[in-house]
């Protein structure tokens, strides 16, 4: 009886050891990421991204994204559920842009926001809506080549085929104005 009691534990230990050795030889088939995520080809995926744009040591903007796909071979980032806050030289928020997706070139800080884009100008409460919006800090310009709706704080609405503005929002131009309605 004593011998059979000793053989059983030794047999179990031997089987566990053998199965452990064979398990090391088999590749793991479990994917680390979904197929859709792997197809994007991003080198890094950042969830809850917050980044700052600066010029000569002064903060120009804050970029937020629910998800950011970063690529090592370029300075490009694809942003999803994004927002950008632009700041004045004194550090106060000047304008906020939101969109469902966008692209950001981290070397030049050029950006494109897409999908239900809203630009809110903080100083005067103006809201500009478009399907796509572009920003180029080297030109100190923000614009859209898509249909645009501007709503002023007093409710006045102006519709056009495109818009462009300087970053101080003093020179906002809407192209091909299709009508103006005064809010109540």
156-174 pLDDT, tens digit each: 999 999 999 999 999 999 9
Contacts of 158 (CB under 8 A, 6+ apart): 149, 150, 152, 174, 177, 179, 180
Q: What is the pLDDT of residue 140?
A: 92
Structure-block tokens of residue 43? 């080198």
Percent of the chain exceeding pLDDT 70 equals 73
pLDDT of 89 strictly over 90: no
Whether residue 48 lies inside any domain: the answer is: yes
Euclidean distance between CA atoms 63 and 68, whole angstroms: 10
144 lies in some domain: yes
Q: What is the pLDDT of residue 1?
A: 47
Tell me the pTM.
Answer: 0.74
Confidence of residue 34 (pLDDT cuts 50, 70, 90): low
pLDDT average, residue stretch 135-155: 94
Tokens (6 digits) for 105: 């070139």
Q: What is the predicted pLDDT for the residue at 183?
A: 46
Domain encompassing residue 75: 36-181
Count, residues in the chain: 184
Rounded distance, CA 127 to CA 143, Å? 13
Say how many domains are in the chain.
1
Residue 112 in domain: yes
């Amino acid at each position: 009886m004593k011998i059979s009691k000793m053989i059983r534990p030794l047999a179990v230990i031997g089987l566990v050891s053998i199965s452990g050795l064979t398990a090391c030889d088999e590749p793991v088939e479990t994917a680390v990421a979904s197929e859709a995520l792997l197809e994007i080809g991003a080198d890094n995926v950042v969830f809850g991204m917050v980044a700052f744009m600066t010029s000569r040591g002064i903060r120009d903007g804050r970029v937020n994204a629910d998800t950011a796909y970063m690529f090592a071979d370029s300075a490009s980032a694809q942003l999803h559920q994004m927002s950008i806050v632009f700041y004045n030289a004194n550090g106060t928020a000047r304008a906020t842009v939101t969109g469902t997706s966008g692209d950001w070139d981290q070397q030049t800080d050029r950006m494109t926001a897409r999908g239900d884009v809203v630009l809110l100008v903080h100083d005067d409460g103006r809201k500009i809506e478009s399907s796509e919006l572009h920003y180029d800090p080297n030109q100190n310009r923000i614009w859209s080549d898509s249909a645009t709706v501007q709503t002023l704080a007093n409710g006045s609405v102006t519709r056009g085929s495109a818009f462009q503005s300087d970053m101080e929002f003093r020179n906002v131009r809407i192209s091909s104005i299709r009508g103006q309605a005064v809010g109540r």
